[in-house]
Amino acid sequence: MSEQLHERLDAKIGELRAAGLTITRIDACPQAIEQLFVGKGEAAILFDADPARDTAWYGDVELQASPEPGARLLVLGADGPQNIEI
C-alpha cells in the first residue's frame, strides 16, 4: 500500500459515513499517531479545549492512544460495534 495512513483513514471514514455508519473512536498506537502528524501536519490532531477532558480529536472523531499496533476505527452499525483496521 503506497497511500499514507491519513489518506487511508480519511478515505475509510468517508466510505463508512456514506454507508450511514457512526464512527465513535479511532484507536491508534503511538507510531500511527506520529504518522498522522508527519503526513498531515500538526493540525491533524487537536486536543479538546475543555481542560477537564484529556481527549484528542482527528477531525470530529475522538482519538485514543492504544498499545496495539496500527490504527482501528470503532464503528457502530446495525450489527453493533465493530473494529475496522486501517
Q: What is the pLDDT of residues 22-53, one digit of tens each?
A: 999 999 999 999 999 999 998 899 998 888 88
Q: Is 2 helix (H, G, I), strand (E, B) or coil?
A: coil
DSSP structure string for 21-79:
-EEEEEEE-HHHHHHHHHHH-GGGEEE-S-TT---EEETTEEEEE-SSSSEEEEEEETT
Q: In this predicted model, which residue has the larger pLDDT, 12 or 55?
A: 12
Give the residue carrying C-alpha cell 498531515: 40
pLDDT at 1: 53
Q: From CA 85, how far away is CA 46, in angstroms rounded?
A: 22
With cut-offs at 50, 70 and 90, classify the pLDDT of residue 74.
very high
* Model pTM score: 0.87
